[in-house]
Structure 1
Amino acid sequence: MSEPRPRLVLVDGSSYLYRAFHALPPLTNAAGEPTGALFGVVNMLRTILKQKPAYAAFVQDAPGPTFRDALYPAYKATRQATPEDLIAQVEPMMAIVAALGFPILRVDGVEADDVIGTLAKRAVAAGIDVTVSTGDKDFAQLVESGIELVNTMTNTTLDAAAVMEKFGVRPDQIVDYLALMGDSVDNIPGVEKCGPKTAAKWLAEYGSLDGVIAAAEKVGGKIGENLRKALPQLPLSRQLATIKTDVELDRGPADLHLRDRDVDALRGLYKRYEFNAALKELEATGASAASPARAGESANAGTESDTGSGVRGNDGSETEAVDSALAGPGDYELVTTPERLDAWVAKLRDAQLIAFDSETTSLDPMRAEIVGLSFAVEPKSACYIPLGHDYPGAPAQLPREAVFAVLRPILEDAQRRKLGQHAKYDINVLSNAGVAVRGVAHDTMLESYVLHSTWRHDMDTQAKRLLGYDTIHYEDVAGKGAKQISFSQVDVDTACRYAAEDADVTLRLHRAQWPQLEGDAQLRSVYETIEMPLVPVLARMEQRGVLIDAAALKRQSHELARRMHELTERAHALAGHAFSLDSTKQLGAILFEELKLPALVKTPGGQPSTNEEALEAIADQHELPRVILDYRSLAKLRSTYTEKLAEIVNPRTGRVHTSYGQATAATGRLSSSDPNLQNIPIRTEEGRRIRQAFVAPEGWRIVAADYSQIELRIMAHLSGDAGLLAAFHGNQDIHRATAAEVFGLPQGEVDANQRRAAKAINFGLMYGMSAFGLARQLGVPRGEAQDYMARYFSRYPGVQTFMEETREKARRDGYVETLFGRRLYLDYINSRNQAQRAGAERAAINAPMQGTAADIIKRAMIAVDAWLLEQEDGARMLMQVHDELVFEVRADRIDAVVAGVRERMAAAAELAVPLVVDVGVGANWDEAH
């Protein structure tokens, strides 16, 4: 038997610290120094050392530009500035790497990827196997016999077969795959809207990027147009994505021996950063120290002596976010007998907190049928109760009603605390099955959202970030695309592993996140008084739905189609020939080649754009751009509303049911989807006609209650500006009052254009608008707009002071807050890139207003819903549209409900100015608005 080949481990140090920073909680030591990313890297390196590789190196990017910057000056131009907390961990990381004995490599003019690629290829040629320790997909292009990738943060290994399975392409096709998709992080241009599936499909069909380019004319549809538009830049994208393997190095693979550890230096570093498990291992004798913690494992886990000095969260409290007890797979039980069901019911009755989840036949909770339920009461222990697996040969399952009979008292008991991940979905699904879930005390999606609204809050991402754990994905058990099967067709053993893991991981995520919320009084208040109480309110609204007049929508759809046809004929006449108004390629040729209009807006690839911004920019130079804009507006209304709404009426309820996204907008605002009821235009006749199709049943009326100028009132409160406060207390027309101040006129002499300009200033400043932006909106010279703004700030100096102080707070803290303590983190606030920094500053100004408005209406919804539940069944809250609540009210209850709603909405916050609520009543939504 031949001797095993020696192994070289190449650590992608440039990406690991960054990935650990974003994957792990924001931990600190007792001195307040950030340690989260450092902790992840240290544990990864200790894991590598345990494998005793023959050779190893830690490869870092060298400072300064690389050859790619010369090829493409915009390379990585969109990358955000490195967070200060991350920068602070670089120096200690390098000290620990050196003390552990790793050779450290940096080469000017190239990236760490290129150094790794060169060493990997040379090592294989010299008979040395290579492991590249990385989480970066770009390295998949290096994989071949003798070279594998290992992501020690997720414990996954990629060889050639795994690359094919994960990406759908061979390792030798990865560069072409990356070139087609582009890379928003590195700012590598690709084919617009070309995602992984499309790139893999093209490469499977045409073999290579060159083959795709040659076949570009054959590719149909919008994506084909995008491909053809991107053709000039694809060779450059491929060049940028290719890892060099011929870098000149001063040493080869066989020179990369690990040095002896510097025990004294490590001891000092581990003590300083409170890496207790690493310190305990270091103090153990010889090389037989305890095995290192996994990435994502707490430094204080596993020994009694460590429990008092673990890694701390930002609030200084102990955090369980990376506790080893929360990492790794669990032990799950399939419940198919009455005895095992009884045993789990007993566990649920005794539990302090019950994590629960449902598996169904649909993502639409109003149409979904329950296939099974899962529960967990302790980490790594969970069960799955199958109820509706109906594939041929499926084993006997407990009767649905018998299971509900024993679970209903637990699920409906408000005193038994429950936990979910996006629990609103499960509440709705169980409601349709006749189970009214009560007592949902926690939701891990909302915990994540309140802690950091700009993160991703799905369970899979949270599990990676907080637990270092790769969950089973739905596609893993049900397949993908056209071959995907219903969950009811998944075999029960596989379903058990997937479904029970959902409940188990939800419980683990709560134990990781709750200590962070619990230790921060402001965030805890946002979570406990706003987000969690809103869950059942939204669930009830989604279940009620709204009544639609399908016949009225059909008439509107025919009218929109007729007007679109007229616009098409007008466009053909303006162009001098027929063309497809939906083809951006044909439109671009007409506008910029035939009509010679200026291309004022370019695509990321440098081509003339025909998007809305581009057409608006040239709409004053020719009639055709305005015709196209009008056509697109009508087409969107028709496809999104007049055609779709009638199709999605629920056959069981006869109503349309939207889904409210509670953890989507960074500022705290709710979103609406499937259908989106918040984007129906209010200022156009067509939009108002669509609202006329939202009707009340016979004997009922629609009531719409809307906050009047709420964000301006919040600005007055937060800024404390005497002029704004006086205007609102005097119940003045705020835009007319502003115009009078800016133009130096009595209010009675302000004309419509001056009021319009003042309105643009009032709202523009809230959104951080520049003089350039205001000038474009008003159609005036920039100097005139600058003069308007100067006069505004001279009349309202408190507003200017507030804006300056808000920007400074954002730069100092990295976030801004709403009146109620919700935080919006601003990753680009200190960016060296002026455009990124300016965008973050605009967000910093707007977020306190928009976020506070979102908090206020959420508080109002909670109060109004509680009041309505106490009333007789004469009013129902149906919709929330930004600052507006829409109700369905019995005709004989109108006066009482209007008064009650107005009172509770006005009392949702105590501001320095009154909250004014406008209320309308009508047979449909348009009449009521």
Structure 2
Amino acid sequence: MAEKIVLIDGHSILNRAFYGLPDLTNSEGLHTNAVYGFLNIMFKILDEEAPEYLTVAFDVHAPTFRHEMYADYKGTRKPMAEELRQQVPVIKDVLKAMGINIIEQAGLEADDLLGTISKRCGRQGMDVSVISGDRDLLQLATKRVKIRIPKTKQGRTEIEDYYAEDVKERYQVTPEEFIDLKALMGDASDNIPGVPSIGEKTATKIITEYHSIENAYEHVEELKPPRAAKALKEHWDMAVMSRKLAKINVDAGVAFRLDEAKLGNVFTEEAYGWFQRLQFKNLLGRFDVKAPSNSVEDCFREIASPEEAGKILAEAKKAALAGAVIFKDTKNTLPLFAGQADIGGIGLCYGADKIFCIRADGDITAEYLLRELKEVSGSVQTFSMFDIKESMQYFTVAEPSACFDVTIAAYLLNPLKNDYTYEDVAREQLGLLLEDKVEDHVKVCYEAYTAYASVEPLRQKLKETQMEHLFTDIEMPLVFTLYDMEQNGVRIEAEALKFYGEQLGIKIEELEKEIYEAAGEEFNINSPKQLGVILFDKMGLKGGKKTKTGYSTAADVLDKLAPDYPVVAQILEYRQLTKLKSTYADGLSNYISGDGRIHGKFNQTITATGRISSTEPNLQNIPVRMELGRLIRKVFIPEDGYVFIDADYSQIELRVLAHCSGDEQLINAYKEQKDIHRITASQVFHVPFGEVTDLQRRNAKAVNFGIVYGISSFGLSQDLSITRKEAAKYIDDYFKTYPGIKLFLDDTVAHAKEMGYVVTLFGRRRPVPELSSSNFMQRSFGERVAMNSPIQGTAADIIKIAMIGVNRRLKEKHMRSRLVLQVHDELLIEAYGPELEEVKAILKDEMEHAASLEVPLEIDMHTGDNWYEAK
């Protein structure tokens, strides 16, 4: 049996994989979809072919004969997308790690390399498979050379195979004639112009009859149809040039040695490391190797003796730095924090060779371990854990100022990630590659060790990025403030919530009947497909947008129709009310604890801007725009003898914008305590301050807040229901009124493009990778992110500082009043009656002095017997 070689067109397959798969990124933010798709295609080919030899060819992108002679055509290829370009060196490194032969040669394109090597190997009696997404390579097909063209559809790879006879059957021409076929019909994807007015059908007819463009040209007067004859006569030079562009050089001087292409075991330890780094977990099963051994594992010890545990804990208290983890019962997957399952034990590391898993078993009780862990946290200079707040449900940290939360440090350095696991941190900060399937005590030891060993590299990177102050003075104290808030919870009047849900149910039923009556039949209002048919087919409403699955009934479509069609307004109201009922009236009741309070979670590491988010349930998303939505706040009540105080920053993001931009007009307006929206309307619309109408003020308000979010003329036109031209003039006049803002926003975007990130006043960095995208919409989004993030992020930092200060003073004074909620720019305090005035003074002082800006920070403060009244 003949030996076999597989030749892969590197850039072609990488490109096909890139556009055939959705975007993927690893924990480092590196795009990986093209590499992942390439490897899947390659493995599929290797599994099917079982070749003795393998080579991957790449373009060097140096000028070739064809580039130089026909630069106007080959040179007009679109530049490679940045997300794809960065994956080219990665796939080369991965292939090298797998021991796979790579060939690239200046002056030759990859298809010339493939053509020459395939011809040489075919002559030597070898079977050759050429893998490419470029149909130009069909000209290489012979009885021995097979061209394989992969297609990636919805993550699955299908492959078309072509020997010479298959090319003839599919295209009615021989592989050699295929070159002439391309010369006539052209190929836009490969910048081969072809002959104008001659398409594939006509070109095929001409070549099957005359076999070459020269022969066709000799019989040009006989060609049918006449327009093809006319086109070939007028553009003969283009036909000749197109054939030269399409023809692959199969006799190039290629430096190729067959022995270097010999295929060995591609599943090496080095390759395993790459696959782990790229997070291709479902490909790791192909390896019959373990992860590169980490010598630190030799120091892992599982402790079951009370005496030994006591000795270790005593030693830990004398250490400068300790890393710890609390894990659940070993019957469960380790380590876990959620829920109230029994504690399985602790992981503890206080030296490079002092790494232990101490189980709560027999004479070593969980209570003992948690008590000792508290003492460790109060004795060491630095006590490190992942997600300390979650662990605090099990034990009280003795010395908060000594704590180091690895999760938060990792978040600050890369706020775009979805999670911050110990595996990721071990790989990124310590260069450790961890296996998925290891014993439970090994996982525990690894997490404790990572918590210990990553402190210094993380701290150093925080210093280098000038975020150490942000971490130490804002984010770490906030951990304990948020923990207190979660423990405090907020009281819910269950009966009032039930009644609210019932009232919503009655209103929803009424709306259903009205909608059915208007439609003339009953249907599923929640079904976009059925709703589209009713509105646009049966009722004949104008303005429908047809999609592949039917009419769009998205909110933006219905919002435009609502003023003219009462039934659409009813449908929008129906949607709002059903959302209120399911999410709040019914949803909130599931979170009420035995003490009658909701103890939700506040998260620090979810948003890229630094804003705190709320989950289980989301109490920051309580509706405020519609009265029926606001009424839900009535069910939030203080404990007997207490009252709610709600304090809300007034226009904090606009005030931050005034400070950051240094615009004198805006700064003076705030210093003089003028109505900022009215004064903006006066200056933008050129009317005296006293003659500004309510409509003009509302429009100016939309511009003021829109500018903060980088709004476009199109977005503003949609918000105000005006023309795009009018909106553009509003924005232009706004920037003329406040020129400092325009300069600041332009400079911010320019800085982000140069550095790759933006920065808040307190040093928080927000990467903006979208600015380097090849996609215009992505870049535009990146510009808006760059404009808004420093403003929104600074506002988020300011309220965090205020929260820390308020909570600290309430605790220092041993007050019974407590901070219970934060909703972006708003704080809710459950104040003990006798402490009311003192708490209001603390709130005012801490919130208005949280930052020193060029304009004063002001708050609106109200009290009430429920949240609705206080707001």
Fold agreement, TM-score > 0.5: yes
Instruction: Confirm or deny: 8 A CA contact 1:57 1:105 kept in the other structure.
Output: no
> Superposition pairs for residues 349-498 of structure 1, below 5 Å?
349-360=317-328, 367=340, 369-378=342-351, 382-387=355-360, 396=362, 398-411=364-377, 413=378, 415-431=380-396, 438-439=400-401, 441-459=403-421, 460-466=423-429, 471=434, 494-498=439-443
1:805 aligns with 2:805: no
Shift of 1:449: 1.5
Q: Taking structure 1 as reference, are residues 808 and 326 closer, same or farther at Cα in structure 2, changes over 3 Å only?
A: farther
Other-structure match for 1:574: 518
Shift of 1:90: 8.6
The answer to which structure, 1 or 2, has the higher relative contact order (CA under 8 A, 6+ apart) is 1
Instruction: Confirm or deny: 8 A CA contact 2:758 2:766 kept in the other structure.
Output: yes
Q: Taking structure 1 as reference, are residues 331 and 833 closer, same or farther at Cα in structure 2, changes over 3 Å only?
A: same
627, 630, 635: which is aligned to 1:688?
A: 630
Instruction: Confirm or deny: 8 A CA contact 1:428 1:543 kept in the other structure.
Output: no
Instruction: Confirm or deny: 8 A CA contact 2:59 2:104 kept in the other structure.
Output: no
Instruction: Confirm or deny: 8 A CA contact 2:327 2:337 kept in the other structure.
Output: no
Q: Give the Cα separation in 2 of the matches to 1:356 and 1:719.
A: 44
Q: Give the Cα separation in 1 of the matches to 2:523 and 2:784.
A: 40
Other-structure match for 2:584: 641
Shift of 1:545: 0.9
Shift of 1:734: 0.9
Other-structure match for 2:558: 615
Is the partner of 1:828 in helix, strand or coil?
helix
Question: Match of 1:546, as an amino acid?
Answer: V
CA deviation vs aligned residue, 1:388-417 (integer Å, no higher than 9, x gap): 7xxxxxxx4622233334333223x16542
Instruction: Confirm or deny: 8 A CA contact 1:728 1:914 kept in the other structure.
Output: yes
Question: Match of 1:349, as an amino acid?
Answer: K
Other-structure match for 2:82: 81
Instruction: Confirm or deny: 8 A CA contact 2:819 2:830 kept in the other structure.
Output: yes
Question: Match of 1:838, as an amino acid?
Answer: S
Q: Give the Cα separation in 2 of the matches to 1:78 and 1:699.
A: 69
Shift of 1:777: 0.8
Q: Give the Cα separation in 2 of the matches to 1:105 and 1:871.
A: 75
Q: Give the Cα separation in 2 of the matches to 1:327 and 1:749.
A: 77
Q: Give the Cα separation in 2 of the matches to 1:513 and 1:256.
A: 47
Q: Give the Cα separation in 1 of the matches to 2:293 and 2:94.
A: 29
RMSD: 4.9
Question: Match of 1:430, as an amino acid?
Answer: F
Other-structure match for 2:444: 499
1:709 aligns with 2:651: yes
Q: Give the Cα separation in 1 of the matches to 2:341 and 2:490.
A: 19
Q: Taking structure 1 as reference, are residues 448 and 404 closer, same or farther at Cα in structure 2, changes over 3 Å only?
A: closer
> Superposition pairs for residues 690-839 of structure 1, below 5 Å?
690-839=632-781
CA deviation vs aligned residue, 1:843-897 (integer Å, no higher than 9, x gap): 1111111010001111111222221121122211111110011111111111111
Q: Give the Cα separation in 2 of the matches to 1:380 and 1:613.
A: 60
Other-structure match for 2:490: 546
Instruction: Confirm or deny: 8 A CA contact 1:366 1:543 kept in the other structure.
Output: no
Question: Match of 2:593, as an amino acid?
Answer: N
Instruction: Confirm or deny: 8 A CA contact 1:57 1:256 kept in the other structure.
Output: no
Instruction: Confirm or deny: 8 A CA contact 1:669 1:882 kept in the other structure.
Output: yes
1:519 aligns with 2:481: no
In our comparison, the structure showing a higher alpha carbon Rg is 2
Q: Give the Cα separation in 2 of the matches to 1:860 and 1:778.
A: 35
Question: Match of 2:82, as an amino acid?
Answer: A
Other-structure match for 2:137: none
Question: Match of 1:624, as an amino acid?
Answer: V
Q: Give the Cα separation in 1 of the matches to 2:613 and 2:506.
A: 32
Q: Give the Cα separation in 2 of the matches to 1:845 and 1:90.
A: 32
624, 627, 631: which is aligned to 2:567?
A: 624
Q: Give the Cα separation in 1 of the matches to 2:395 and 2:57.
A: 52
CA deviation vs aligned residue, 1:326-376 (integer Å, no higher than 9, x gap): 788565333222023123213422332221122248978574543332222
Q: Give the Cα separation in 2 of the matches to 1:745 and 1:662.
A: 45
33, 54, 57: which is aligned to 2:55?
A: 57
CA deviation vs aligned residue, 1:754-812 (integer Å, no higher than 9, x gap): 11101100011111111111111111222222222222122111111212222222222
Instruction: Confirm or deny: 8 A CA contact 2:760 2:793 kept in the other structure.
Output: yes
Shift of 1:673: 0.4
Instruction: Confirm or deny: 8 A CA contact 2:735 2:741 kept in the other structure.
Output: yes
Question: Match of 1:458, as an amino acid?
Answer: Y
786, 802, 813: which is aligned to 1:860?
A: 802
Is the partner of 1:893 in helix, strand or coil?
helix
Instruction: Confirm or deny: 8 A CA contact 1:366 1:428 kept in the other structure.
Output: no
Q: Give the Cα separation in 2 of the matches to 1:846 and 1:820.
A: 15
Is the partner of 1:383 in helix, strand or coil?
strand
Q: Return 555-564 or 505-514, whichever deviates more.
A: 505-514
Other-structure match for 2:134: none
Question: Match of 1:700, as an amino acid?
Answer: Y
Instruction: Confirm or deny: 8 A CA contact 1:448 1:455 kept in the other structure.
Output: no
Question: Match of 1:57, as an amino acid?
Answer: T
Other-structure match for 1:321: none
597, 603, 608: which is aligned to 1:655?
A: 597
Q: Give the Cα separation in 2 of the matches to 1:327 and 1:22.
A: 29
Instruction: Confirm or deny: 8 A CA contact 1:418 1:439 kept in the other structure.
Output: no
Q: Give the Cα separation in 2 of the matches to 1:340 and 1:889.
A: 49
Instruction: Confirm or deny: 8 A CA contact 1:380 1:504 kept in the other structure.
Output: no
Q: Taking structure 1 as reference, are residues 15 and 693 closer, same or farther at Cα in structure 2, changes over 3 Å only?
A: farther
Q: Taking structure 1 as reference, are residues 178 and 863 closer, same or farther at Cα in structure 2, changes over 3 Å only?
A: farther
Shift of 1:614: 3.0
Question: Match of 1:861, as an amino acid?
Answer: M
Question: Match of 2:754, as an amino acid?
Answer: R
Other-structure match for 2:309: 341
Shift of 1:709: 0.3
Q: Give the Cα separation in 1 of the matches to 2:260 and 2:339.
A: 62
Shift of 1:542: 1.0
Is the partner of 2:617 in helix, strand or coil?
coil
Q: Return 672-681 or 827-836, whichever deviates more.
A: 827-836
CA deviation vs aligned residue, 1:155-195 (integer Å, no higher than 9, x gap): xxxxxxxxxxxxxxxxx999666599xxxxxxxxxxxxxxx
Shift of 1:107: 14
Q: Give the Cα separation in 2 of the matches to 1:584 and 1:669.
A: 33
Give the paired residue count. Answer: 692
Other-structure match for 1:239: none
CA deviation vs aligned residue, 1:714-756 (integer Å, no higher than 9, x gap): 1111111111111100111111111111122232222211111
**Identical-pair percentage:** 32
CA deviation vs aligned residue, 1:472-525 (integer Å, no higher than 9, x gap): 66xx7xxxxxxxxxxxxxxxx9432333332233334445433222323x2222
Shift of 1:565: 1.1
Question: Match of 1:506, as an amino acid?
Answer: A
Instruction: Confirm or deny: 8 A CA contact 2:831 2:839 kept in the other structure.
Output: yes
- Structure 2 residues not aligned, in runs of 5+: 36-50, 63-77, 131-149, 159-247, 262-268, 276-291
Instruction: Confirm or deny: 8 A CA contact 2:306 2:363 kept in the other structure.
Output: no
Q: Taking structure 1 as reference, are residues 878 and 789 closer, same or farther at Cα in structure 2, changes over 3 Å only?
A: same
